[in-house]
Structures are given as C-alpha cells and as structure tokens.
Amino acid sequence: MTVADLAADARILWRLLCGQPKSGSHAERLQAFYAPQAERYDAFRERLLHGRQELIQRLGLQPGARVVELGCGTGSSLLRIGGWAGQFASFDMVDLCPALLDVARQRVTCHERVRVIEADATTWQPDQPVDFVFMSYALTMIPDWSRVIANAEAMLAPGGRIGVVDFHLPADGGRWSNAFWRKWFGHDGVHLSGEHLAMLRRLFVEQFSAELRAPVPYLPGVQAPYYLFVGERGDLEGEGRQHSATLPEWLRKRI
C-alpha cells in the first residue's frame, strides 16, 4: 500500500471515527456521512464488506432477468456481476445518497439497460415484478429495515429470488462480543441485529444461508460477524411466507 493509499484510508477512518451525524433526515445524514468518503469508498469497503462476490454467485442471476439492487451505493456490484449486466432485461440500482449515486452513474454509462435511481428502498417499487432483488450491507443502515424486506418481497415475481449479505448479531455470538459490535457499528449508523436474518427466513423459502466472520481493516485479530442469505418467493399461499404481524398495515394488505 502506498503513502497516498494510507493517507486516503486515514481520511475515511477519520470520518468513521466522527460517526454519522445525529441531526437531519435519514437522507441528509447519509449524504453528510458519505459525501466526503465517496471517492475512496470502494477501495476501503473492499476490505470491510465481505461476501459480496459470493452473494452474486449464489443468486444465480440469468440473462434476460429483471434485477433490482436496493442500497446500491457506488454501484460496485456492476464490477462483481461483470458482463452479465448487459444481458439483463433491466437492472435498477436504487439508493438514497446522491454522493454515492454520482459514482454509480459514472459506472453505468456503458450499460444501457441499467438505471440508477435516487429513491427510498422502503417504498420504491419497479414498474413490473422482478426476478431478483439483492442488497449488500444496506439493511443495517436503514432504520425501517423490516419495511425494506417486505417491500423487496412485494416487488418479486413468484419464484423470484432475494439475496442479502450484511453484518449481524449471531445468536451464538456471546453477550460481550455482540454488545461490542452493536456499539462499534452503531456509531456510524450501522445497526446490527439478529432479527434481519430471522425475518428473511420467515418470509422466503431458504435456498442458502451462512453465518460467517471476516477481518476488519486496522483491527488486527478481530473478526466481524456477517451473514449471506438467498431465498425464493413462494406462491401467495406457499410455505415460507408467514407474514410478520409487525409489518406495516399498508404492506400486509399489498402482499
């Protein structure tokens, strides 16, 4: 790593140490947090956000599919998907943070079927049902995360697939370890929970899941817990879709 890389990392680490601003709307806080990091976002997150390539592989994306990514950030999933992206019927990349979406827009110029959309993942819906929805490290940054999962389910065609990779608090993580990670990430607006994976398992027919740990840059010997989940939307009355009584009324009516 060069001196310039170290200096760039130091600026990101400083932002992480400052934490996410506590005032303003959710969108304003995201913009204030990410705008100073946007340029160096991908290089740093490459060493922090593990399992994103595996998620793409496990999803089983197909040519001709309609695909949505919620919380796409800089659109770096395009690098992981590679040439496939040009073969999708559509690929909608949705995020709420203009600074990160600016980077994504620069990336998609050569992909005419890829749209970069500034919208809230809790409510945005595509024009027609889609075959795949995926999210990487977005749910933990969205306060109303259960609405996003339900919204994702609502946009999937029957048999469509959801894929999620994110940090979480494992059931067997230990009290002190889980408390550490909750506090550590919470400072930057990343809210770890054991409930995300539980809800995914309740709503979808599980195809694959794994609970893992991976290194954190500049924290030697420490590994953060994360999970991978791939599930399928069953038919309307099928198994695996026991809607949580905690979902908002408007979504329970809709799905």
Which residues are near ligand SAM by CB under 6 A? 30, 45, 49, 52, 71-73, 76, 94-97, 100, 120-122, 136-138, 141-142
Describe the strand order of the beta sheet including 130-136 as a list of residue ranges. 114-118, 90-95, 66-70, 130-136, 156-167, 219-232, 205-216
Distances in Å between the alpha carbon of 63 and those of 73, 110, 131, 206, 229? 23, 17, 11, 23, 22
Report the residue number whose CB is nearest to ligand SAM: 73
Cβ proximity to ligand SAM: between 103 and 197 the closer is 103
Task: Enter the tokens of residue 181.
Answer: 């990670």
Cβ proximity to ligand SAM: between 189 and 231 the closer is 189
The C-alpha atoms of residue 159 and residue 13 are separated, in whole angstroms, by: 42
The C-alpha atoms of residue 134 and residue 136 are separated, in whole angstroms, by: 7
Residues 6+ away with beta carbon under 8 Å from 177:
225
CB of 71 vs ligand SAM, minimal distance in Å? 3
CB of 173 vs ligand SAM, minimal distance in Å? 20
Cβ proximity to ligand SAM: between 187 and 238 the closer is 187
CB of 3 vs ligand SAM, minimal distance in Å? 25
Cβ proximity to ligand SAM: between 72 and 224 the closer is 72
Cβ proximity to ligand SAM: between 182 and 241 the closer is 182
Secondary structure class of 67 (helix, strand, coil): strand
CB of 240 vs ligand SAM, minimal distance in Å? 25
CB of 175 vs ligand SAM, minimal distance in Å? 26
